[in-house]
A = this chain, B = another copy of it.
């Protein structure tokens, strides 16, 4: 491990950030995992802890119109480097997902605030609201609002499982969706966005690495497939006369996996339901979801074309038909070359390699990359697990990730204008 420059290393303490993370877990989590579901009292408690820490620093703290919390440290220029992630978690979630980036950003902020002189550029830490979308099924809420990709007319209609409407719940937290657009002004003067996050997958662990350079986020194509055959009595309809929609779906699911493997992307059938859906009936209709991801747009388009073809062939082989309903689509995002190169340098300085991987998951960085130069640092995830209380990362990997993140951010804040 190469030493980082001494003037900043004296201030920046990765183990203080890890202590903050453990305190946060103690206050808003427990044996069943984290409970920082957005727009709840426990999420507000996590925010309160962050505000306590920020209150000791020479920063301006503001909640924007979409519920994102910003802490500003003025620099010698209005140009602003933003770091951030999210304190909200899925129910029974992990202690690091999102929180690592916020507490890591807080520690960077402390180190910059401890300097005798203001930094060259201004600096901001942001805690994005509702990255997970676990309550109202709209993820990347706060970052999408700031970037301007959140459709207010769609979210106006969203309800949680208890039937509570999103507009009323958000109003309790000071967010009024008709005024939300105002948060887009936060992008003014932002020249860079950096985020530290756990990988939430097994690639770094599999490579024997603690940290990695994120090259961008993958493109995603999500569809619902409805296979239609003929419902029939399980006892009276002979096998050769059946039009079994579940068998058609089964053929598709297996071929979809081969498509993902062939293109070195990922493809998933995550949910299936049958109608009539009883033990004594041949399923007349089987509905499933498909999620496919690739870092390359052309490869993703080829995978999607092959999947549509596979669905048609699977249906035809069982005397069924199939139709697709579009759910979600996002193109691959390649991160900013200058920022990614700084992250490569930082990862090499800390762990001695420049290993790069795309992010298979969406992050607030996926939204920010649409608008400003963006980059990310990953730490490993034990067993690739996330969104579960078992989510964890070796402490030395956390410390390395924090150090590399700090180096890349400081290099960006201090870079010659």
Contacts and interface: CB of A to CB of B under 8 A. Distances in A.
B266 A240 contact: no
A190 B79 CA distance: 97
Given A269-B246, A278-B271, A386 B233 contact: yes
A271 B266 contact: no
Contact of A220 (B199, B206, B235, B270): B235
Interface of A: 199-203, 206, 218, 220, 222, 231-241, 244, 246-247, 249-251, 253-254, 257, 260-261, 264, 266-274, 276-283, 286, 289-291, 293, 327, 359-362, 384-388
Residues of A contacting B: mostly: mixed
User: Which 4 residue pairs of A and B lie closest in terms of their CB atoms, listed nearest first?
Assistant: A201-B236, A235-B360, A250-B250, A234-B268
A278 B272 CA distance: 9
A202 B281 CA distance: 15
Contacts of A360: 233-237
B270 A277 contact: yes
Contacts of A238: 201-203, 266
Nearest to A203: B238
Given A218-B235, A240-B261, A247-B269, 13 more contacts: A199-B236, A220-B235, A232-B385, A233-B387, A234-B268, A238-B266, A239-B261, A239-B266, A244-B268, A268-B280, A268-B281, A270-B279, A272-B286
A272 B272 contact: yes
Given A249-B250, A272-B246, A279-B271, A266 B291 contact: no
